[in-house]
Amino acid sequence: MLIRWNSWNHFNCHIEEKLIMETADAMVSTGLAAIGYEYINLDDCWAQLHRDSQGNLVPNASTFPSGIKALADYVHDKGLKLGIYSDAGTRTCKGTMPGSLGHEEQDAKTFASWGIDYLKYDNCNNHGISAKKRYPKMSQALLNSGRAIFFSLCEWGQEDPATWAAGIGNSWRTTSDIKDNWKSMTSRADENDKWASYAGPGGWNDPDMLEVGNGAMKTEEYRAHFSIWALAKAPLLIGCDIRAMNNVTFELLSNKEVIAVNQDKLGVQGKKVKKDGDLQVWAGPLSDSKIAVVLLNRGPTKATVTAYWSDIGLESATVVSAHDLWEHSTQPSVKEQLSANLNSHACRMYVLTPQ
């Protein structure tokens, strides 16, 4: 699973090459690149409204005057990779640039010639043609391009892509767009959770990008956001301005132990295993017989959340050590259950190791 940055959540349509170059610089200078954040992804609005006389996509001359190839070279020189955006329709979602419908082979070759490593492929202006017909064409075009390009399907879960996209793309959106608030974030987690059994190495459910650091949620809420996305093996796409993030945001996004759960080689999506009103237990298996657990209080008041061994697939006699991934502390010899008294919208995340 790749971890990366995308321009949309924070910058929307307001992107230009200086911003992307500075973001690549910040990815390295902050240490995020060394942790594993490798991709810098452009979203909508990078191209001119019309194709050239040969039908090629043309970078916006005012915002990307050096062109995308030069930008890719800059990003690659930093040891990073560059992602780009297009749409499986005649126009992108903002309507500021052409989509790739009917130009799949041509655009894939263009992306490959520029050194693109990742394509987010959106779903606007699709003329009512099924995603099951449109997305395979770009998938094949990317394979024909001669360059390995990660293919991120973004049809917002409308045709249940978890059930058909595994042979077409590397990840697929299971939800509509996320917003920077608790209700939106948790509902995306719930929608994505329904498709847990379809995810695995090479093909991942995508509940949309991270809002961590964009300012409209509390720290505890962002911690829960990052924890659930990591447990669910969701793509971790930073969506804030990493050039200006504060220490709290950096500490959330750079927690190596939480990221390790997301990157675990077993590749099994963790899921919601218990719900008692607003009190929830999320869990999933990890390699080496370990288990990741998130205790989550989605309610408005402080409450105790408990995971019994039967909730998370452990035999009743099992004794574990419980390592708290946010407190970086370990409880030895834990038996039968794991509990935490949690503030409203707070969570605790653990890795349990049978002894």
Question: CA 135 to CA 87: how far, in whole Å?
Answer: 10
Query: How many Cα neighbours within 13 Å face the side chain of 117?
Result: 15
User: What helix, strand, coil percent values describe the chain, rounded to 5?
Assistant: 30, 25, 45
The secondary structure of 228-270 as a DSSP string is HHHHTT--EEE-S-TTS--HHHHHHHT-HHHHHHHT-TT-PPP
Helix (H) or strand (E) holding 155: none
Catalytically active residues, by annotation: 122, 177
**CA-only gyration radius of the chain, Å:** 21
Distances (CA, A) of 100 to 48, 226, 239: 13, 32, 24
Sequence-ordered alpha helix ranges (H) in the chain: 8-11, 17-29, 32-35, 68-77, 104-114, 131-144, 182-193, 219-231, 247-253, 256-262, 309-312
Dihedral of the alpha carbons of 334, 338, 342, 345, in degrees to the nearest 10: 130
